[in-house]
Amino acid sequence: MARKPPAGDPVQDAPQVAGPQHAAVGLSAIGHTLRVAQQQMGVGRAARTLLKVNQKDGFDCPGCAWPEGDDRHVAEFCENGAKAVAEEATLRRVTPDFFAAHPLSDLASRSGYWLGQQGRITRPMYLAEGSDRYEPVSWERAFAILAEELGALDSPDEALFYTSGRTSNEAAFLLQLFAREFGTNNLPDCSNMCHESSGSALTETIGIGKGSVSLEDLHQADLIIVAGQNPGTNHPRMLSALEKAKTSGARIISVNPLPEAGLERFKNPQTARGILKGTALTDLFLQIRIGGDQALFRLLGKLILETEGAVDEEFVREHTHGFEDFAAAARAADWDSTLAATGLRRDEIEQALGMVLASRRTVVCWAMGLTQHKHSVATIREVVNFLLLRGDIGRPGSGVCPVRGHSNVQGDRTMGIFERPSAAFLDALGKEFGFAPPRHHGLDVVRSIEALRDGKAKVFFAMGGNFVSASPDTAVTEAAMRRARLTVHVSTKLNRSHAVTGRRALILPTLGRTDKDVQAGGRQVVTVEDSMGMVHASRGNLPPASPHLLSEPAIVARMARAVLGPASTTPWEEFEKDYGTIRDRIARVVPGFEDFNARIARPGGFTLPHAPRDERRFPTATGKANFTAAPVEYPEIPQGRLLLQTLRSHDQYNTTIYGLDDRYRGIKGGRRIVLVNPEDARELGLADGSCTDLVGEWKDGVERRAPGFRVVHYPTARGCAAAYYPETNVLVPLDSTADTSNTPASKSVIVRLEQSPTV
Ligand SMILES: Nc1nc2c(c(=O)[nH]1)N[C@H]1C(S)=C(S)[C@@H](COP(=O)(O)OP(=O)(O)OC[C@H]3O[C@@H](n4cnc5c(=O)[nH]c(N)nc54)[C@H](O)[C@@H]3O)O[C@H]1N2
Ligand SMILES: Nc1nc2c(c(=O)[nH]1)N[C@H]1C(S)=C(S)[C@@H](COP(=O)(O)OP(=O)(O)OC[C@H]3O[C@@H](n4cnc5c(=O)[nH]c(N)nc54)[C@H](O)[C@@H]3O)O[C@H]1N2
Ligand SMILES: [Mo]
């Protein structure tokens, strides 16, 4: 029974505004879950599928990367996980007839929401040069086209292989192996736009670019600081962990320019108390100005230094390096500039300090609110300084907790999806497969766009994702993509990247997490790594969306055979038949995966080693945890302008739009809204409900305009504004990126608001 696609585009974008809510989840979330699941899947399929989410014999939720605990509920998912599952397990289908009816120009005129709602792609499709329509193509011909275009390049570095973070460990390992046998390290990934700043900062300071806490640590913490993260929407299962910590006496400080409902109160639908009353989560809300976090943590560092007995001197002496330089910089911090940078009051910071000093075990959690600024790497290093002072790394109940986004984004990096791989990784890979991997670094996302723009890259291949919508500077990115000779997308669902193509284009439809994966060697499982370094198996249980789909590992294996031919001695056919043979190789190349196949057979999987967490050993250049002393930065907001952050609504998964509501923020029926502090709005003459264009201001003088946004008076921090991504990506300049990590600064965009006639 195929479900009907929704009515045609353009989507009515007529937002209604009711004001922010003060609690998250509860029974209404269950109602939303069931409605969405039923619309996409029907009742029986919805129940069968949702009961397998995150179970030990089921599949890993394709939503976020939050880990599962040991004691699992029958329904171990959240509203937004259910939406992610429903989007994938939908009964709607995109067939060759659909492409016959919708030429490229038509697809390019549709919203991302409409494209996504059409359903699962069922056949490989090819757009020939000069044609305005995708046509069905056989898999053999598709791989032949790839081989022809890759073979025609002057250098392997003219090819780009992008990965989005849903890709399994097995597929990711094969893709990086293929790219390197082909001869390039051009392996940009969504991480470049996401937690790259965390990876850069943590690798330098603690020696490993991953978080140092387990769920158990969170449950045991005395103090949890949640900075720049909206877990009620983006990691709803984290609320259960915060609730558990609170029940054991933890206190929570939220640092955010927005009051986010999920951090105020959690109504746990699994308990009677939760349904009725809920648990208050945040004890202290620091409503910080966008970009003020480095200044805040630096001042806290100074205040800790000035408090008798507050520094863990033994830890600092035994395990750290660079303390003196840091202490000198911290002592120079002053109240006035910190209050200006943060927009906070002195008594609020003093209250935070009191809570910090009262805690023996502190965890700092963060996400995109810290990673997507010019000074993000410095900000996260400052978080590390703060924790090091109190000895809060490598001790139970404390540590760094960068909360990852995509469900396997951390695993993809572990598997070698990285444009700047370590020499040790390349040595192991080359030795195992008998070839000489390229040693020069490849291109990240921003540099890939520049290479396409400048005609230096000619073939773009994406393992999932929606590159043109997720990337910054939409107009520049789209023009760059159109210059490619060939663009290839391995995808489950349609998105804008299929409509903005190179001269030739391929869509290669693939299995998702929920689909049963049967190969010549029998039924397969894949593996993923969560945000806390736990690796476990994932098995889909639904019949695939179409008999013509290939799995991601099969697509890479066949591409490799077509492109590399007999020159490659890698057993690609074996890999495709039995993913266990891929895991045997991963076990020999990637540290921590010894005995991989045996260990994933155990329910719940296994935890990867993490030297700082496990042994207080810091594999950095100095052999110690490094204090750093970067100058404090924060964005200056020119007169009459606002600092815009681009963020997620409750009804989206990155560029996949599930619906037009943002329930917890009280927005309904539209996405073109901009949240502005009422005082700022008054000063700027922006009435609530009026219509405005957002105009980006950047040093290159280019005018970047996002037209037609409804002004919403909202309690965000002074000088700040917020609007949804990806509609606002057009405003983020390609060269406005974080120092060191090169992550687009999509949370710090200077804008002016220009009244426009209509919404
Ligand atoms: N349902 C759902 N789940 C998701 C996703 C999704 O789109 N939908 N996306 C997944 C992915 S890939 C990721 S990376 C994560 C993203 O998870 P989040 O990082 O929670 O996502 P954002 O919506 O970008 O929210 C950023 C938060 O940081 C705050 N913030 C912005 N600027 C600053 C600042 O300068 N300082 C501080 N302290 N706070 C700031 C914002 O107000 C907001 O609360 O979620 C993952 N999970
Ligand atoms: N302005 C602004 N820009 C941002 C951000 C922001 O906060 N503000 N956030 C950034 C962040 S944190 C991230 S992670 C990126 C996200 O960037 P991406 O990961 O590139 O984008 P997604 O929207 O997650 O990709 C969705 C597409 O993935 C495909 N897909 C889904 N499941 C599967 C699967 O199992 N296999 C395959 N092969 N394909 C699948 C579908 O076709 C779907 O349309 O965006 C970044 N861009
Ligand atoms: Mo992300």
Q: How far apart are CA 477 and CA 469, in angstroms?
A: 9
**Looking at 558, 592, 626, which one is the last position of a domain?**
626
Residue 100 CB neighbour total at 10 angstroms: 12
Domain assignment of residue 608, yes or no: no
Pocket test for ligand 1, best of 64, 368, 531, 664 (most atoms within 8 A of CB): 368
Domain assignment of residue 413, yes or no: no
Q: How far apart are CA 275 and CA 26, in angstroms?
A: 5
Query: HEC string of 623-675?
Result: CCEECCCCCCCCCCCCCCCEEEEEECCCCEECCEECCCCEHHHCEECCCCEEE
Domain assignment of residue 317, yes or no: yes
The reply to whether 502 and 380 lie within a common domain is: no
Bridge partner residues of 219 (DSSP): none
pLDDT above 90: percentage of residues in the chain: 86
What is the domain-level CATH number for residue 500?
Answer: 3.40.50.740
Q: How far apart are CA 333 and CA 337, in angstroms?
A: 8
The reply to whether 385 and 277 lie within a common domain is: yes
pLDDT above 70: percentage of residues in the chain: 97
Tell me the mean pLDDT in the region 613-628. Answer: 97
Confirm or reject: Cβ of 192 under 6 Å from ligand 2: no
pLDDT tens column, 693-711: 999 999 999 999 999 999 9
Closest by CA position to 641, among listed 592, 700, 684, 670: 684
Is pLDDT of 4 > 60? no
Residue 453: pLDDT band with limits 50, 70, 90? very high
Element (H, E) at 730: none
The reply to whether 230 and 180 lie within a common domain is: no
The reply to whether 383 and 502 lie within a common domain is: no
Domain assignment of residue 412, yes or no: no
The reply to whether 434 and 568 lie within a common domain is: yes
The reply to whether 573 and 446 lie within a common domain is: yes
What is the average pLDDT score of the chain?
94
Whose C-alpha lies nearest to ligand 1, atom 8? 653
The answer to whether 715 and 20 have CB atoms below 8 angstroms apart is: yes
Atom of ligand 2 nearest to the CA of 406: 14
Residue 278: pLDDT band with limits 50, 70, 90? confident
Domain assignment of residue 709, yes or no: yes
pLDDT tens column, 572-584: 999 999 999 999 9
Q: How far apart are CA 399 and CA 213, in angstroms?
A: 6
The reply to whether 677 and 584 lie within a common domain is: no
Ligand 1 binding pocket, CB closer than 6 Å: 63-64, 80, 194, 227-230, 233-235, 255-258, 260, 288, 290-291, 293, 367-369, 405-406, 645, 647-648, 652-654, 747
Could you give the angle at which helices 26-41 and 43-50 cross, rounded to 10 degrees?
120
Token pair listed for 77 = 């998912």
The reply to whether 596 and 506 lie within a common domain is: yes
Domain assignment of residue 610, yes or no: no
Is pLDDT of 28 > 80? no
**Looking at 626, 660, 679, which one is the last position of a domain?**
626
Token pair listed for 146 = 């790839």
What is the domain-level CATH number for residue 692?
Answer: 2.40.40.20
pLDDT, residue 2, reads 37
User: How many domains does one find in the chain?
Assistant: 3
Domain assignment of residue 512, yes or no: yes
Closest by CA position to 270, among listed 407, 79, 35, 60: 79
Tell me the mean pLDDT in the region 655-679. Answer: 96
Atom of ligand 2 nearest to the CA of 466: 20
The reply to whether 261 and 314 lie within a common domain is: yes
The reply to whether 508 and 368 lie within a common domain is: no
Token pair listed for 584 = 């045997």
Q: How far apart are CA 538 and CA 523, in angstroms?
A: 12
Is pLDDT of 298 > 90? yes
Token pair listed for 280 = 């208050």
Confirm or reject: Cβ of 489 under 6 Å from ligand 2: no
Atom of ligand 1 nearest to the CA of 235: 47
The reply to whether 491 and 584 lie within a common domain is: yes
Transcribe 687-724 into DSSP letters. Answer: -TT-EEEEEE--TT---EEEEEEEEEE--PPTTEEEEE
Domain assignment of residue 65, yes or no: no
What is the domain-level CATH number for residue 285?
Answer: 3.40.228.10
The reply to whether 710 and 731 lie within a common domain is: yes
pLDDT tens column, 243-269: 999 999 999 999 999 999 999 889 888
Range(s) of the domain holding residue 454? 124-187+424-601
Residue 77: pLDDT band with limits 50, 70, 90? low
pLDDT, residue 72, reads 61
Q: Is 733 helix (H, G, I), strand (E, B) or coil?
A: coil
Q: What is the largest CA-CA distance in the chain?
A: 74
